[in-house]
Amino acid sequence: MTIETVRLTDGSLPGPFGTRLLAGWFATGRAAGLADHLDRYGPPPEHPAEALLRAVEEAGLTGRGGAAFPTGRKLRAVAAGRGAPVVVANGMESEPASAKDRTLLQLAPHLVLDGIALAARAVGAREAHLCVARPRTEQAAELRATLAERARHGLDPVPVRLHELPHHYVSSEESALVSWLNGGDARPTATPPRPFERGVGRRPTLVDNVETLAHLALIARYGAAWYRAAGAPDAPGTTLVTLSGAVPGPGVYEAPLGSRLRELLDLGGGPSEPLSGVLVGGFFGSWLPPGALDVRFTKAELAALGAGPGAGVLVALPEQACGLAETAAVLAFLARNGAQQCGPCRFGLPAVAEDFAALAAGRPDPAVAARLERRVGLLAGRGACRHPDGAARLAATALHTFAGDVERHLRSGPCPGAHRPPVLDVPVGAVPAPDEWR
């Protein structure tokens, strides 16, 4: 995703009371260096820890990494833990359909790093880490230079260590980051305990997405009321979303939380052709029918449809594409990219992916639909991590949203859309070898 595709939600002037995370980009047309950042925002404010915690709670900030958990509650839990807390910023962005975190780290890295410093102050941490994907060598080099410049100016009282982790789908899960930082594999571990209870070095650990931390940096400067002036009362603030598929202007956009799905797609020019569905949340997300486009982009309203905001991803699937073929490709990817530590990842998910591939190909097997329903129902809630849960949700919503296609594939073979170029850019590759997790 190129930075030229970043857009505003509306025509408001760039600045702290107009656009938010991407204000500097729209003011200057370039990524914010340290001088630009300090001119616009100044150094991180030195609020007492309790004032920071209270401001984040009153703002209603929720995590932007997928779970949308209240950030203030997480900060409180870490601050109240036993032992010296640790802060971990998650910039891995292993979701293939998302580009928001890379865009933010490219255009406004100092907001993220300010957020790390402020989160460390809020919880009383003296150790902070920023985790990014190892193959993104250019990103890592830019961040190392940025951290060195901040160190020369004495901006980070808690030094931030940059880490480049293996780039696998489940390696961005919070317990996988903690495992790797503790000297293990970048694979999820069974919980409890959660990282906020016992994480890096067995100490209470705050793991937050980089976008969440950038919002925290703005709340510390402008306050809870300012933050809540955007978005909806039950979903305050703005969020970054990645649009792709059948829209004229795919890219990363900043939009108020609580926007309707239709309004988010309109940021990219609206659907360029009739749609058969919309993927909400990414590869761990849900397929929703076109009739759901008036649903608001909030955790509560999406949950009522079996969906969630996830990593802030919306993919518009054109009517001429095959939702079953698209889902089969994603499930094959998820089956290859599980942690391979328990039965659901080693056996259950590959079996579901194989059945879905047969369904997408229109193979004459009348039992495949019933078998899929049964196997998908057995996946969720049985893994050591949530990887099987996400795959089960994707498969279940595809069977529901594309129910008419399921019947046609079983009756008449694959539809013409199954032979079209795919809409989703699904990475290829084999199951990671044991040494690839380090």
- Structure confidence by residue, pLDDT tens digits, 5-37: 333 333 333 343 346 999 888 778 889 999 999
> CA-to-CA distance for 13 and 27, rounded, in angstroms?
8
Domain ranges of the chain: 19-229, 235-318, 323-422
CATH T-level fold of 235-318: Ubiquitin-like (UB roll) (3.10.20)
What pLDDT does residue 12 have?
A: 34
Q: Which pTM does this prediction carry?
A: 0.93
pLDDT in tens, 85-141: 999 999 999 999 999 999 999 999 999 999 999 999 999 999 999 999 999 999 999
Is cis: bond before 193, omega within 30 of 0? yes
Sign of the CA dihedral with 186 first, then 207, 134, and 163 last: negative
Predicted local confidence at residue 430, as pLDDT: 84
Q: 327 CB contacts (<8 Å, ≥6 apart)?
A: 287, 356, 360, 394, 395, 398, 402
- Please state, as a whole number, how many other Cβ atoms lie within 10 Å of the Cβ of residue 187: 24
As a whole number, the mean pLDDT across the chain is 91
Q: Does 345 or 186 have the greater pLDDT score? A: 186
**pLDDT value at residue 313:** 97
Task: Give per-residue pLDDT as tens, 260-276.
Answer: 999 999 999 999 999 99
- Secondary structure E strands in 134-212: 160-165, 205-209
Q: Classify the phi-psi angles of 173: left when phi > 0, otherwise alpha if psi is within -120 to 50, otherwise beta.
A: beta
Q: Find all residues with CB under 8 Å of 142, minimum gap 6, and list them.
A: 106, 109
The yes-or-no verdict on residue 343 having pLDDT over 90 is: no
Average pLDDT over every residue of 69-91: 96
- Answer whether 93's CB lies under 8 Å from 172's CB: yes
In angstroms, rounded to a whole number, what is the distance separating the alpha carbons of residues 372 and 396?
9
Q: Give the pair of three-digit tokens for residue 73.
A: 């509650």
What's the pLDDT at 342? Answer: 86
Q: What are the DSSP calls for 97-113, one per residue? A: T--HHHHHHHH-HHHHH
In this prediction, residue 5 carries a pLDDT of: 36
pLDDT digits (tens, 9 = 90+) for 420-430: 999 999 998 88
> Residues 237, 163, 384, 61: what is their CA dihedral angle, to the nearest 10 degrees?
-10
User: What would the CATH number be for the domain defined by 19-229?
Assistant: 3.40.50.11540
CA angle in degrees (0–180, nearest 5) for 217-222-225: 115
Residue 432 has phi, psi (to 5 degrees) of -55, 135
For 323-422, CATH gives 1.20.1440.230
Paired tokens of 59: 């703002």
Share of the chain above pLDDT 70, in %: 96
313-328 tens-digit pLDDT:
999 999 999 999 999 9
**198 neighbors 179 (Cβ within 8 angstroms):** no
